[in-house]
Amino acid sequence: MERKIPKALTIAGSDSGGGAGIQADLKTFSALGVHGSSVITAITAQNTKEVIAVYNVQLDILEKQIDAVLSDIGADAAKVGMLSNLGIIKAIANKLKYYKIKNIVLDPVMIAASGAKLLEDSAINALKKDLIPLALITTPNIPEAEVLINFKIKTLEDVKNAAKEILKLGCKSVLIKGGHLDISNNYVIDIFYNGKTFMEIKNKKINKIGHGTGCTLSSAIAANIAKGMELKEAVKNAVSYVHNALEKGYKISSKNYVLEHFWQR
């Protein structure tokens, strides 16, 4: 009797440098023992330093990718990352509803680590109205959370208030990543909120600027959920996985560090 293989789908952009996006997601799935399928929303020309160009995939081939995967392979969990415009967001939301995908991890990618804008302003409302309500968990960093709730986040209390406001958009839980919050030279705090309780996840600060940390975190959460892990445990495990991957990360160029996805081997 063949063993059941957990399956996860990533819907995101392709990173030609191999550090973020689809490439980071598939490496994460493999490292965590999950079969990964992919739907590419955009082709980016980028490296560890910058995003040089973005070409959005046409909607018909985007939809056909989803149909091909979900009509045959299916997905125990889906990670949704870079969706750069209104049409792509609506197409993805409609397909996820059609196939009744429940375990959706939404990483609301808006700005690359290099500073490049990856989400058009006109698409922000669609992200909030069409996709966030479908998500089991949404994983913004501080700048993304500020866009979603339209106020500045300066303190840990601000983070918690932001999490409450984001939850009102319809998702079941929120993880706000604390890497951009300057409250300590020694540690970083991520905040998880499920509408009932807060969970603070504290890790020592690593003196490395990583490329693809947000992509890797959301795909690690999806992989853990696909394996049947309870959500809080999936989040804690994923944060630990990314922390170790960054700590053991390496440079392949003069700029940001690439994560060591297979540090457990």
Cβ(42)–Cβ(55) below 8 Å: yes
Q: Give me the pLDDT at residue 120, please.
A: 74
pLDDT at 161 over 90: yes
Q: Give me the pLDDT at residue 118, please.
A: 67
Q: Give me the pLDDT at residue 142, please.
A: 92
Summarize pLDDT for 83-133 with one digit per residue, the tens.
Answer: 988 999 999 999 999 999 999 999 998 876 555 666 777 788 899 999 999
CA–CA gap between residue 175 and residue 172 (Å, rounded): 11
Summarize pLDDT for 55-85 with one digit per residue, the tens.
Answer: 999 999 999 999 999 999 999 999 999 998 8
**What average pLDDT does the segment 26-52 reach?**
95
Q: How far is CA 248 from CA 2, 121, 206, 236, 245, in A?
A: 35, 36, 10, 19, 5
Q: Where are the domains of the chain?
A: 7-258
pLDDT bucket at 27, cuts 50 / 70 / 90: very high
Cβ(176)–Cβ(142) below 8 Å: yes
Q: Give me the pLDDT at residue 122, please.
A: 78
In CATH terms, the fold of domain 7-258 is: UDP-N-acetylmuramoyl-L-alanine:D-glutamate ligase (3.40.1190)
Minimal CA–CA distance to 140: which of 161, 110, 185, 103? 110
Write out 99-152 in H/E/C secondary structure: CCCCCEEECCCCECCCCCECCCHHHHHHHHHHHHHHCCEECCEHHHHHHHHCCC
**What average pLDDT does the segment 191-195 reach?**
97
Q: Give me the pLDDT at residue 49, please.
A: 86
Q: Please provide the average confidence, as pLDDT, over all residues in the chain.
A: 93
Summarize pLDDT for 131-158 with one digit per residue, the tens.
Answer: 999 999 999 999 899 999 999 999 999 9
Q: Give me the pLDDT at residue 123, please.
A: 86
Instruction: Report which of residues 143 and 198 the model is more confident about.
Output: 198
pTM of the model as a whole:
0.95
pLDDT at 3 over 90: no
